[in-house]
A and B are shown apart, each in its own frame.
Chain A
Amino acid sequence: MPLRYHPAKAVAVAIGNAIPLVILPIALMRILPSFLPIELPLELQGLEKFIISIGSLAAVFAGLAAFYGKGLVWRAVFGSARQGTRVAWIYFVFSGGLISLDFGLFDFAEISFSLDFQRLLYILYAAILLMAVYFILEFVVYRETQRVEEYSEEYY
């Protein structure tokens, strides 16, 4: 196998991404409700499936991006896809930055709570998507080096 592929690094990166994107959130969702005085809404069950599917996809993309060496087009493709799925993950997990909760308190009062952190998420999306730009720039910068290496391998 040529040196421009890194299978061990790919597995390590995929697992490293699965921990914060899948394992930790699912564990928190299973453990936290037992400590809260209120019942979590049913929508959170749908969110659990989403975290597993999109989180796993982001981890796989991260692994694939790590598998390919710098200057290979697939590293740029999977690297950008990884950042895109991360943005989607954050968007859905944090409800697009608009969280609104309504619940009753002992049939006496109705309590509502809302949080609008869209502006913060927009900056976070920009920071994450900047990494996608990084993968594209990296491909442009390392493309020539990669071609020279491929040529050297074929020639020798």
Chain B
Amino acid sequence: MGAAGRPKGRGILLTVRIVSVLASLLFSALLITTILLAMPGNLEFIPPEMEEGDLRFEDGILYLDTSFTLGNGGYHDITNFSVTVQAIVQDDLVVTDYATTPVNIPVGERREVGISIPVDLEPLLSSGYLLFEPANVSFTIGMSGTTTRGLIDFAASVTFEQQFDPLISDFSFGVLNLSQDSGEWVLTVPYTVDAASFLQEPANATFSILDDTGTLLGQANATIDLGVPVAGNLTFDIDSAKAMELLADPQDLTIQVTLELPGDLTFTFETVVTLPGG
């Protein structure tokens, strides 16, 4: 270089400066336009409209089928967008933990995201929740995705609690009647059943009646159409000697109920009934 001339390396300096300034401006712009995505109107969410048919019971699993629409009015494509749903009964039992297949939502477009949330009733019934008593179910609905050319991950979730009516609200027995019919002793037990309307399936029920020592006195079977209030009578054939004993000394009896729902869904409960004094 000359004494007052231009120094060598000015080209490199200029390049470094231009790259730095342009990169700073570019990534600042990406940051600002991403934050604008959170502004109202840029991320459009059309919630699902729940209808009666959205709830279906299939092979022991309850499905909630619905869909919602998400529109991207922002400045960057959204990739790997998925929705998760978690339901916890009484802060204890996770009955569903579901995630949708990830979708991409380009700028200016809308995507309908279909969801089919499975709720496995088996652990619910075996744990005794939602049987005869309402239970609190906590739902966490989350959504997550990536935007701004894969540089930004976002996630949002909403958690709310709702009280649900029991799946089987009533399964009770009326007054027992021990009588003789054609020389055979028969114990007649009236029953009523009321279950959630979506359980519109015939269920096979097995009833076992036991005395106060736990001895099996008789068994009965019935097919119960769930979903509507049902009333019926059970008849147990009782050994004549045991029948005479019960008549002479009325005692508390136990009825064990095993209800088999479609999809190998079984639940068992027992209740104590009293034979009226003769």
Chain A contact residues, CB within 8 Å of chain B: 94, 105, 108-117, 119-121, 123-124, 126-128, 130-131, 133-134, 137-138, 140-142, 144-145, 148-149, 152
Contacts and interface: CB of A to CB of B under 8 A. Distances in A.
A118 to B, nearest CB: 9
A119 B17 contact: no
B151 A117 contact: yes
Given A109-B158, A127-B27, A137-B12, A120 B152 contact: yes
Interface of B: 1, 3-4, 7-10, 12-13, 16-17, 19-21, 23-24, 26-28, 30-31, 34, 38, 148, 150-160
A152 B3 contact: yes
B3 A133 contact: no
A148 B19 CA distance: 30
Contact of A133 (B16, B28, B155): B16
Contacts of A142: 7
A109 B159 CA distance: 5
B266 to A, nearest CB: 35
Given A133-B16, A137-B12, A152-B3, A114 B155 contact: yes
12 contacts: A117-B148, A127-B19, A127-B26, A130-B16, A131-B17, A133-B16, A134-B13, A134-B17, A134-B20, A137-B16, A141-B12, A145-B7
A112 B3 contact: no
A109 B19 contact: no
B151 A120 contact: yes
B87 to A, nearest CB: 14
A141 B31 contact: no
B152 A130 contact: no
A108 B242 CA distance: 58
B274 to A, nearest CB: 45
Given A111-B156, A133-B20, A148-B4, 10 more contacts: A109-B160, A112-B157, A116-B153, A117-B152, A123-B151, A124-B27, A134-B20, A137-B12, A145-B7, A149-B4
Nearest to A143: B7
A117 B1 contact: no
Nearest to B3: A148
B16 A127 contact: no
A110 B158 contact: yes
Nearest to A128: B24
B91 to A, nearest CB: 14
A144 B1 contact: yes
Contacts of B21: 131
